[in-house]
Structure 1
Amino acid sequence: MRTIQKKNCRWWTLLIMLIPLALITACGGGGGSDVVDGSDPGDGGIEEGEYVIFLANQDENAPEDYNLYLANSQNPETLTKLNPPGAAVHGDVIQMAFSPDGAYAVYLADQESNGIYELYLVDMASPGTPVKLNGTLVSGGRVDDFTFSPDSSRVAYRADQDTAGVNELYLAAVASPGTSVKINSALPDLGDVEDFSFSPDSSMVAYMADQDTDEHNELYLVDLAAPETSDKLNGALVADGDVLEFAFNPGSYSVVYRADQDRDRVFELYTVDIVTPGTSVKLNSSLVEGGDIADFLISRDGIVFYRADQDIDGTYEVYAVTTPGSSLKLNSPLSAGESVTKFILNYNGSAMAYRADQDIDGVHEIYYVTGGAITKINKPLVAGRTTGDFAFSPDGTLVGYIADQDTDDVYELYTVDLTELVWGSTKRNTLLVADREITDFQFRPDSQGIIYRADHDTKGVYELYSASLSTPGTAYRLNSPLPAGGQVRRDFSFHPDSTLVAYRADQENYSVDELYYVDITSPGDVFKLNSTLATGIKIVNYQVSPDGKQVVYCADQDMNAVFELYLLDITRPGTSVKLSGALVADGDVSYDGFKFSPDSSRVAYYADQDTDEVYELYLVDTATPGTSVKLNSALVADGDVSTDAIAFSPDGKHMVYRADQDTDQVYELYLVDLTAPGASVKLNSPRVAGGDILGSAFSPDGSQVVYRADQDIDEMDELYLVDVSTPGTSTKINSALAADADITRFVISPDGRRIAYRADHDTDEVFELYLTDMSTPGTSVKLNSALTIGGNVYSSGFTFSPDGSQVLYRADQDIDGTVELYLVDLTAPGTSAKLNSALVADGDVSSHGLSFSHDSSHVVYCADQDTDDIYEIYSVSVASPGVSTKLNQPLAEGSEVYMHGVSPDSITVSFVTHQEIDDTPLGELYLVRQDDPGNAIRLNIPRTGTAPYLYIEAFSFVPGEVFYTYH
């Protein structure tokens, strides 16, 4: 039986934004708002309080949906969902298998709830009408693997069905779908079932689990007539030993397994009779020092073959077990550094094929072994060429393999007739051009044909083809036409009758994998096996308008993986309108490339709206959603607007952006009057060859733009000032830099008079902090105190106080490698005070969330100040440097603060904690008053179990910066 599987390793960034709302009326109004945890959002209004808008996968029954929620600090853990439900299909089929008798197919999909994967059974006599096979799952539970019994009557599956986050083993009969029984024995806290397999006679299941000792997998056997009662099969393991893999002997009477049973990290091969569990016998011969068993196979008649560096450490060869502890080497002699990388057996174990760099070091070729004779079966390969995957045909007469045998880097499909080796190999695919490849193939069960996956017709678009064995070089496509970006996945499978092929593809909706089958005699005539999959939404970023009344968010709300902008009114939860203009096929709005205008009336965004993969700048009025204008001028071929420098002027009349508008890959700075979209002017002065504009900012009054560029000397980044009334004429602000010096970052003071910047101004690669007055360009003064040898001021974290009188910065100023927090008064440059309290050994102040209170009286910072590698938040008065107060409550074991921010009134601090529970990430959002440290309230709804994951990765007060946290 072949299993189709895709690993479900999705994760998306989570954005949290904290906003103060003085009064929100009619919060419960609007169509379709959801109140979570039984809240009534109010009749006629919500009382005054602090409100938080946050973006989370809060619904544990749809853990891949990311929604916007409104929380009230006066009523924490009671949320109102702001956005409407997603209309886009988000579910996926991630695993599939036919029953051995071909009567059924089973697949694993989030068919009913986005991110909750369950098992579905399809009668092949009536495809498209599946029934759920697994039992009822606990909230947040999911199925993650399964296998059919050899007699096709039952399915074993692994799921956290009874306890979220605890994977156990269940059995369901195809005759009674929806009813299951647990078959593993009781697990300890944090224990999990790993791999599992039916015995060949279908009466037993062997499984690996850390059932007796957490984090140490051992091998167990359960008789299906007595579920939940298992025997440990493996012998006693050495301390820290584990069983890594196992397989039943075809007779069902014994199990072979690989483990570091006798010596830790030395993996060997053992067999155990199921009637004498715990009494195992080592199969392999003695290993050289450093040697290990890499993998093994068992032939139909019970002979065990294995691959190991048994004789020369690092040189892997193939052996057959003759008697326990004795083996016979099957490959030709290899030199040091050469290895067998894979081996396979034919259907009855009478022949073997292996791949090795046996003749030319680094050139892997395929060899056929039968009756003691070893024959290379591919055509000779030159250096730089190689073979890929290979397989026997089911009847054992052919070997198929992938190789760039004829043309370098063009991987094609060949077969060798083992009954006529003298004739060499035959190419099976039709002609492939340069840069195309075949990635996978499979023989028909009756050995009369072959199918393969290749980007045959369009580069990078992988589809499924059927090739005849009687007419070499003739193949035809099996799948239906794919949408833009669509792919057939690598895990296709033949039905046992040899005529039907099942495959997964996003054939109807981009990025939505569904399950299809096709008869190879009717290519392109495709049928879907699954029924309609779950809808969902993934919001990836959002912003609140400066007036606090609206939210714009970026989501694939209408079509999976197509990201557009939507606008909602905070007082009307549950309704939104599409804000961005119509997109070209494959177009998207950039998740981090949109901004509100200062007056909240317009939104600028960055998208490949008109031409796929050409990113440009657009403006839309919130009063006329869906109708946008392009702001940038025409771009040169391959030109793009960059997302990292789009900004409104403070009066909202202009925008500045960075683009390679005139010359590809040469980024310059442009200004556009919003009353004349599409007619921009270049702001920067002419550049030296190779020069680029790297970043910019408006002055607070909007009359000038400061930018960083290697304008005069290539690779020397300096600061320039340009008046928006005289574009193209700039003035250098910084004083002269030493050879090879650079300015890496700058900030403008709140009053617009001064600029602080970081540079290795005086000594190459020693970065310090400087201040220049914009009224006297070309002169600067050093702000930081003297640095210890090896010390530097860090780029992230330096900022002016809100009143503009001081500058905060991070540096390893006193101890090289220990990053601490310093404050310098601009009336006394060069004389700074350390703000943080004494740090524990190896402690540091983080750049995450470092911020002044809005009245400039306090600084809040994150540091592993008390315990190394456990980050917490502290507040310190600028009047009492070195005396800090911890703000967060005592943290759970393994938890730490990942991000924080200060409210506009400087009274409260919001922060995010993160911990891993049995490898499951769990984030939570809190609010604490600075005058009541240690008494934080949780705002999000806590998870009921350890799964599914909950990410909280960024937040900000409004107005304010968005802080991002990365796990």
Structure 2
Amino acid sequence: MKIHRFFTVTAIAIIVCMGLTPAWADTGDSTRSIGTCLNHDLDGWDVLDFEISADGAWVVYRADDYAHSGLQAIYSVPVDRSAAPVTLFAQTAGATLGFHDYQITADSTRVVVYGDLDTDGEDELYSRAVDGSGSPVKLNDPLGGWSVLDFELSADGAWVVYRTDDYGSGLNAIYSVPADRHLAPVTLFEQTGGAALGFHEYRITKDSSRVVVYGDLDTNDEDELYSRPIDAVSGAVKLNHDLEGWSVLDFELSDNGSRVVYRTDDYGSGLEAIYSALADGHGEPSNLFAQFQGAALGFHEYRITADSLWVVVYGDLETDGVDELYSRRIDGVLWSFKLNHSLGGWSVLDFELSDEGHWVVFRANDYGSGLDAIYSTQANITMSSETLFEQTGGAALGFHEYRITPDSSRVIVRGDLEVDSVDELFCRNINGTGPQVKLNHDLQGWSVLDFEICPDGCFVAFHTDDFAHSGLEALYSVPTDRSSAPASLWTQTGGASMQLEEYQVEADSVRVLYRGDLRTDGEIELFLSGIVLFWDGFESGNLAGWSVSVGG
């Protein structure tokens, strides 16, 4: 059952404002300081990592008997801990390879894993229902001495695409198969004798219709770009133009599935160019950005906006030794625009795109002084850039990280903005209106290590560390508009031998999951807490299991 944020926040406000201490808020229960433990009794094993399903209902985690057998197992558990964990995949004595990767399908129904489950020294691919029903299904056909290298899941949850490798010859092949294997795998791309280069990268288009790959398929020592329908109903098509000795370096896919943007490189001159092509191979590619003789720097990064209309790139396009920021329509019908203001000797370091596709936020750096500044503008250049955050003389630390909230309304940054050698967390409206707001509480010598933004953009979970003294850590949450003070989700106490390893906010923005040695027993486990208040299990129709946490 999902708890609506309005109900959650209202319940807290009523309880706190009335000054009541509910019977279930047992302050003497020390386990409430670490939340609800999701994993089973590990008996000396450790939780290595975890994934949350897209619907927010399930957590899948991997455990490892590192100190003894080296075996691994993968489990699933409801995120509300309404049922005990179930074993999805377990290795037995004799396994020589671990589980290298596992993912939950986008429809939250199955878990796909690749590794040595058969304990025969061969990496293979399996899937199983996320609730543990049924048996594991082997997705690949007999490999004949080849091994699975990696895999991708389609956005509709229906398909698995995987790459295999023959270590002897170095050849690669790429296959697709339904996630439940109701159909046998089909070959999408296959190298033959003579190929000097493998398949470097492959991806499924966002509409789940095609697979795009770049590598040496023609066995001519030239990396090129190809696509094919995911069900292999028709043949592969080459997407790139005649490269004339250049090679494809990498590519990006538009969110609507229609276009592929790719970067090429001339190893002789070091020059680069960026092109756009239709994913189905129709028409000729459009040259979006091209460097000319004299460029000292390449294109460091390029991305497609979420509305699939614009390509944003930063690098040395004007061949003046300064990295700047540009955008252009993905179909090439308009000229490119420079997005940044006159930098005065500074350079663009990196950029972020908003989820609705309109905003570009970028960071600039003055190499001489080491100062940083963060700006916002729009991909279609309908406004000049706005200064969001700016360091001044005396800052000992730069801006380490910044992100746009999923609702595209604010920018959150972590760094030394107040030039006091303490990394803190700040927020500002993305259009530059309103003041900068400090999100964290008085850290008293601690520093913010990292942060995660809720999918709905309303809250931020952040991780702090008393690095200089005790080495202890803590986890907090705070509204992105700082309408209330931070709340403590978890705090380490003296005796903890390991730190917080990982944390994630689930899809419905109600809960935070985190992994670490929270019981101070040297065992890494998996725990759950509410983003606003501690969550120890909700029962329909009442507030049993909830306890209020008020931060300062």
Pick from 67, 86, 89 the counterpart of residue 90 of structure 2. Answer: 86
| CA distance in 2: counterparts of 1:52 and 1:883, whole angstroms | 39
Change beyond 3 A, Cα 1:696–1:545:
same
The correspondence of residues 606-617 of structure 1 with structure 2, limited to 5 A, is 606-608=163-165, 613-617=170-174
Change beyond 3 A, Cα 1:717–1:635:
farther
Change beyond 3 A, Cα 1:924–1:755:
same
Pick from 91, 103, 124 the counterpart of residue 543 of structure 1. Answer: 103
Give the aligned partner of residue 684 of structure 1.
Answer: 240
| CA distance in 1: counterparts of 2:431 and 2:324, whole angstroms | 24
What amino acid sits opposite 2:453 in the alignment? V
What are the Cα deviations for residues 671-715 of structure 1, in whole angstroms up to 9, with x where unaligned? 1122327942211111122x1101212333333221111379853
Pick from 585, 589, 607 the counterpart of residue 148 of structure 2. Answer: 589
Give the aligned partner of residue 663 of structure 1.
Answer: 219
1:809 is displaced (CA, Å) by 1.1
1:621 is displaced (CA, Å) by 0.8
What are the Cα deviations for residues 349-396 of structure 1, in whole angstroms up to 9, with x where unaligned? xxxxxxxxxxxxxxxxxxxxxxxxxxxxxxxxxxxxxxxxxxxxxxxx
What amino acid sits opposite 1:669 in the alignment? L
1:664 is displaced (CA, Å) by 5.7
* Sequence identity (%): 22
Change beyond 3 A, Cα 1:752–1:552:
same
| CA distance in 2: counterparts of 1:943 and 1:687, whole angstroms | 60
What are the Cα deviations for residues 224-283 of structure 1, in whole angstroms up to 9, with x where unaligned? xxxxxxxxxxxxxxxxxxxxxxxxxxxxxxxxxxxxxxxxxxxxxxxxxxxxxxxxxxxx
Pick from 400, 403, 406 the counterpart of residue 846 of structure 1. Answer: 400
What amino acid sits opposite 2:371 in the alignment? T
Gaps of 5+ in 2: 5-37, 43-54, 510-552
| CA distance in 2: counterparts of 1:82 and 1:852, whole angstroms | 37
CA contact under 8 A between 2:425 and 2:440: conserved in structure 1?
yes
More moved, 928-937 vs 777-786? 928-937
1:581 is displaced (CA, Å) by 4.3
What are the Cα deviations for residues 931-959 of structure 1, in whole angstroms up to 9, with x where unaligned? 545214249xx79954467743x868669
CA contact under 8 A between 1:580 and 1:625: conserved in structure 2?
no
1:762 is displaced (CA, Å) by 1.4
What amino acid sits opposite 2:455 in the alignment? P
| CA distance in 2: counterparts of 1:804 and 1:821, whole angstroms | 18
| CA distance in 1: counterparts of 2:73 and 2:436, whole angstroms | 36
CA contact under 8 A between 1:55 and 1:66: conserved in structure 2?
no
Q: Does residue 292 of structure 2 align to residue 732 of structure 1?
A: no
| CA distance in 1: counterparts of 2:285 and 2:128, whole angstroms | 41
Give the aligned partner of residue 460 of structure 2.
Answer: 909
Q: Does residue 181 of structure 2 align to residue 631 of structure 1?
A: no
Q: Does residue 362 of structure 2 align to residue 809 of structure 1?
A: yes
The correspondence of residues 50-449 of structure 1 with structure 2, limited to 5 A, is 53=59, 55=61, 81=85, 83-84=87-88, 86-89=90-93
Gaps of 5+ in 1: 1-19, 23-32, 38-48, 90-507, 512-537, 961-967
CA contact under 8 A between 2:273 and 2:291: conserved in structure 1?
no
Q: Does residue 393 of structure 2 align to residue 833 of structure 1?
A: no
CA contact under 8 A between 2:170 and 2:198: conserved in structure 1?
no
Pick from 153, 162, 165 the counterpart of residue 605 of structure 1. Answer: 162
Scaled by the length of structure 1, what TM-score is found?
0.41
Give the aligned partner of residue 695 of structure 1.
Answer: 250
Pick from 392, 409, 412 the counterpart of residue 860 of structure 1. Answer: 412
Computing the radius of gyration from Cα coordinates, the structure with the larger value is 1
Give the aligned partner of residue 937 of structure 1.
Answer: 489
CA contact under 8 A between 2:56 and 2:506: conserved in structure 1?
no
Give the aligned partner of residue 706 of structure 1.
Answer: 261
| CA distance in 2: counterparts of 1:597 and 1:924, whole angstroms | 36
Change beyond 3 A, Cα 1:697–1:662:
same
RMSD value, Cα: 4.7
| CA distance in 2: counterparts of 1:911 and 1:552, whole angstroms | 30
CA contact under 8 A between 1:619 and 1:629: conserved in structure 2?
yes
Pick from 611, 622, 632 the counterpart of residue 179 of structure 2. Answer: 622
1:71 is displaced (CA, Å) by 7.7
| CA distance in 1: counterparts of 2:371 and 2:57, whole angstroms | 37
Give the aligned partner of residue 275 of structure 1.
Answer: none
Give the aligned partner of residue 371 of structure 1.
Answer: none
Change beyond 3 A, Cα 1:813–1:53:
farther
1:836 is displaced (CA, Å) by 2.9
Q: Does residue 372 of structure 2 align to residue 819 of structure 1?
A: yes
Scaled by the length of structure 2, what TM-score is found?
0.68
Give the aligned partner of residue 570 of structure 1.
Answer: 130
| CA distance in 2: counterparts of 1:923 and 1:565, whole angstroms | 38
CA contact under 8 A between 2:62 and 2:73: conserved in structure 1?
yes
What amino acid sits opposite 2:301 in the alignment? R
Q: Does residue 228 of structure 2 align to residue 672 of structure 1?
A: yes
1:856 is displaced (CA, Å) by 1.0
Change beyond 3 A, Cα 1:699–1:34:
closer
| CA distance in 1: counterparts of 2:305 and 2:72, whole angstroms | 37
CA contact under 8 A between 2:228 and 2:237: conserved in structure 1?
yes
CA contact under 8 A between 2:237 and 2:281: conserved in structure 1?
no
